[in-house]
Chain A
């Protein structure tokens, strides 16, 4: 009897808990300039950035500066640098309706759901209201936009993704920089013959290999293909997808990536390249500190150069269109949005670019970068190339597809490149998964 009543009590509580899941919202997403006095208090930022990285250092300094004139104000940083752990935390907080004033997220379909629920402040209107809308690079904002063009996320970083390569290893193998994507298999085969790893791949991180899936379709059809694919309006078996699958299969059979790449982590893959054991390394400018300063191993320092995403025959996108991410974005919570939050954002975002650029990193605004003292000549070349990135952005697929399809794609890509499945099997598996999940997620 006792047990039964205990159980009944527990169920009762469970039901009560679910009954009040609704919750209230504060400001409307478009209400970016609420009335009222600025009342200083502690606000929090749930973020996934390196604990002692430049973004946090600069923002900490700005928060202290703001607090000096606004006693009682403080900005609390809740950082979880490991991305999967961060995502678990973000989703748990969102489910409990406990998101703080600011929180980090990519422009994923999940974030879009939050925006549709009215949980995020309209960043387009916010930037205009605080007079900063003209200072941002259009491509930095484009990366943060949802596919309907709306903007709810603020960028704090900017970078371009290049193909770093080792000139000495290329010369030894007698190969040139690939002119088109279709040159890769031959280049790899020649490089592999000399006993080096052609391309260093951090397969354990999932996203680096997924980039390679996006390249062919982006060149062939521009960003439109993945935009339709994610909703189930296009298929993997369409020409763009099929070409990509066939190409990745060829990359695998030509031995492009090191054997066992799927369990190699970020740092280890980079070490393969910086120690001269791998010839090509596809990586963004956020690694300039490791690739274009005197921190780079002296043995390869003068041999490293980079090229940008090669084109294909009949490409729809220009040579200077490629992946240029502005990092994970920051959303502003509508529930806790008030004159204080607005005032602090105005203060911090106005001053941020100048201070961040001083760290030697590209900013999402058009601010000149201060080169670090230990930079190699390649540093400034990388920066000036990034300044010329075109308007058509190649979006990473992991921020586009619904999460279930995305997870399956990452798994199947490894099998495809390892030769465990054929391109045809890959396409059929992916189209089934897509049909099961995409329409449901984007309904």
Chain B
């Protein structure tokens, strides 16, 4: 798993000493196979993949279908299959009862804020451990490992008391800090595994030119990490966007509620819930994340794959 000494591309070296990035390699396979007719094994694998695809995509379709059913249809037809009715009332109710726009804005603020913290701190930490190196770096690594495996629930009471002391309660920061803190270790590990594959020669050359650690970070490490940054942001966004525990604990004001907290507005007396409106709201609130997800997908896939093969 070493890169060739002559490799001076401003891109990360591909995974295993190979000279072809994964996506191009797969294309060459495509060419090799297109001429032959399908073998039975290939038919079977296509059918299997198709079946699995249905299983994976079904929930999103189901949520959409539920969002356009009327209440009675949802109640009486077991909620599966095609709707017997079509209505947009659920969306009207969803917007009327909740403040979806504000919830989405809050979720965006929290997700962006936490992502920025995660990326900055994750890269700095990984750079210090992986690139700069120092005695005792193994201990710091182990310390961060603990963070990967701690259950968040029991930290709630101590955190709440701490935040109350320093006046952080009921602010965007009170969600951003713990969300970023608990996501930091995984991201730090991703960055570290990625930094391993920036060839030492690049650093050596820069050092000889007289660049200090900060300059090297800004001129070499940062520009070469764009894909990994996208990957880290995307993975963490999934978890941060959907976080309920921290939001529920630290946020008191209606104005600061994020999407998962806002979804509670459809719960009525004694737990009676307006499910069709809830699903209309789920549809609306999942859209921003989904859009970003689809747009950044290619970058993310590349980052995930290179991170994985090098980890």
Residues of A within 8 A of B (CB): 2-3, 14, 17, 44, 46, 49-53, 76-83, 85, 88-89, 92-93, 95-96, 98, 205, 265-267, 270-271, 274-275, 284, 286-287, 297
* A297 adjacent to B254 (CB under 8 Å): no
A-contact 0/1 string along B262-286, CB 8 Å cutoff: 0011011111110100000000000
Which single member of A52, A82, A96, A284 contacts B160 (CB below 8 Å)? A96
Contact A95 B97 (CB under 8 A): no
* B152 adjacent to chain A (CB < 8 Å): no
B76 touches A271 (CB 8 A): yes
A399 to chain B, nearest CB (A): 14
Does B212 belong to the interface (CB within 8 Å)?
A: no
B267 touches A92 (CB 8 A): no
Choose from A79, A93, A266, A274 the contact partner of B271 (Cβ within 8 Å): A266
Contact A92 B252 (CB under 8 A): no
B275 and A267 form a contact (CB under 8 A): yes
Contacting pair B249 A88 (CB below 8 A):
yes
- B169 and A98 within 8 A (CB): yes
Give chain B interface residues in 124-143, CB to chain A under 8 Å.
136, 139-140, 143
Expressed in whole angstroms, the minimum distance between the Cβ of A303 and any Cβ of chain B is: 16
Closest 6 CB pairs of A and B: A271-B75, A81-B267, A51-B265, A50-B268, A266-B271, A96-B164
B162 at the interface (CB under 8 A from A): yes
Chain B interface size band reads 20 to 34
Contact A80 B264 (CB under 8 A): yes
B38 at the interface (CB under 8 A from A): no
> Is B248 located at the chain interface by the 8 A CB criterion?
yes
User: Closest residue to A268 on the B side, CB-wise?
Assistant: B75
24 contacts between A and B (CB under 8 A): A3-B140, A14-B158, A17-B162, A46-B252, A79-B254, A80-B248, A81-B267, A83-B271, A89-B249, A92-B156, A96-B160, A98-B160, A98-B164, A98-B169, A265-B271, A266-B273, A267-B272, A267-B275, A271-B75, A275-B75, A275-B76, A286-B270, A287-B272, A297-B72
Q: Do residues B160 and A274 form an inter-chain contact, with CB atoms below 8 A? A: no
Q: Which residue of chain A has its CB nearest to the CB of B251?
A: A78
Report yes or no: A274 in contact with B75, Cβ–Cβ below 8 A.
Answer: yes
The answer to whether B269 touches A92 (Cβ under 8 A) is no
| A51-B97, A267-B273, A271-B75 as given contacts; A95 in contact with B160, CB under 8 Å | yes
Given contacts A78-B253, A89-B248, A92-B156, contact A49 B269 (CB under 8 A): yes
For A286, list chain B residues within 8 Å (CB). 269-270
Closest to A204 in B: B271
Kindly identify which residue among B72, B97, B160 contacts A92, using a CB–CB cutoff of 8 Å: B160
Interface residues of B in 225-271 (CB under 8 A from A): 244, 248-249, 252-254, 264-265, 267-271
Roughly how many angstroms separate A46 CA and B254 CA in the complex, as a whole number?
A: 11
Which of chain B's residues has its CB closest to A92's CB?
B160
| Chain B: minimal CB distance from A299 (Å) | 10
B253 touching A81 by the CB < 8 A rule? no
Chain B interface main SS type: helix
Q: Please give, as numbers and ranges, the residues of chain B lying within 8 Å of A83 by CB-CB distance.
A: 271
Q: Which residues of A contact B143 (CB under 8 A)?
A: 3
How far is the CB of A79 from the nearest CB of chain B, in Å?
8
Q: Which residue of A lies closest to B162 (CB)?
A: A17
The answer on a CB contact under 8 Å between B252 and A3 is no
Inside 8 A of A287's CB, which chain B residues have their CB?
269, 272
Interchain nearest-CB distance for A290 vs B (Å) = 8
Complex CA–CA separation, A78 to B161 (angstroms) = 19
A82 near B271 with CB under 8 A, answer yes
A165 → B minimal CB distance (Å): 19
In the complex formed, the residue of B with least CB distance to A6 is: B143
A3-B136, A82-B271, A95-B157 given. 15 additional CB < 8 A pairs?
Answer: A14-B158, A17-B158, A51-B97, A51-B98, A52-B265, A78-B252, A81-B268, A83-B271, A85-B248, A92-B156, A92-B157, A92-B160, A95-B160, A267-B273, A271-B76
Separation in Å of the B71 CB from the closest CB of chain A?
A: 9
Contact, CB under 8 Å: B165 / A265: no
Shortest CB–CB separation between residue A253 and chain B, in angstroms? 27
Q: Which residues of B are found within 8 Å of A76, using beta-carbon distances?
A: 253
Identify the interface centre among A14, A82, A205: most chain B CB within 10 Å of its CB: A82
Q: Cα distance A19–B201 when bound, in Å?
A: 54
For A266, list chain B residues within 8 Å (CB). 270-273
Query: Smallest CB–CB gap between A151 and chain B, Å?
Result: 23
Bound-complex Cα distance A298 to B139 (A): 70
Residues 72-86 of chain B, each 1 if its beta carbon lies under 8 Å from chain A, else 0: 100110000000000
| B165 and A50 form a contact (CB under 8 A) | no
Minimum CB–CB distance from A285 to chain B (whole Å) comes to 11
CB distance from A346 to the nearest CB of B (A): 26
Given A80-B264, A85-B264, A92-B249, CB of A17 within 8 Å of CB of B76: no
Contact B248 A88 (CB under 8 A): yes
Contact residue among A50, A88, A95 (Cβ-Cβ distance under 8 Å from B161): A95
Contacts of B275 in A (CB 8 A): 267
Please indicate the chain B residues that have their CB under 8 angstroms from the CB of A95 in the complex. Answer: 157, 160-161
B157 contact set on A, CB distance < 8 A: 92, 95-96
Query: Cα distance A274–B161 when bound, in Å?
Result: 46
Contacts of B244 in A (CB 8 A): 85
Q: Considering residues B139, B249, B264, B275, which has the most beta carbons from chain A within 10 angstroms of its beta carbon? A: B264
Chain A residue nearest to B255 in the complex (CB) = A76
Give bound CA distance, A3 to B138, whole Å.
11
Q: Which chain A residue has the least Cβ–Cβ distance from B99?
A: A51
In contact, A17 and B273 (Cβ under 8 angstroms): no
Contact partners of B140 in chain A: CB under 8 A:
3
**A95-B160, A96-B164 as given contacts; A205 in contact with B249, CB under 8 Å:** no
User: Does B162 lie within 8 Å of A2, measured CB to CB?
Assistant: no
Known A98-B169, A265-B273, A267-B273; contact A82-B264, beta-carbon cutoff 8 A: yes
A95 CA / B268 CA spacing, docked (Å): 27
- Specify which chain A residues have a CB less than 8 angstroms from the CB of B272 in the assembled complex: 266-267, 270, 287
Taking CB as reference atom, which chain B residue is nearest A55?
A: B269
Chain B residues with CB under 8 Å of A205's CB are: 270-271
State the Cβ distance, B116 to closest chain A Cβ, in Å: 25
- By beta carbon, the residue of chain B nearest A274 is B75
The residue on A at minimum CB distance from B272 is: A266
In the bound complex, what is the Cα–Cα distance between A265 and B267 (angstroms)? 12
Interface core residue of B139, B140, B270 (most chain A CB under 10 Å): B270
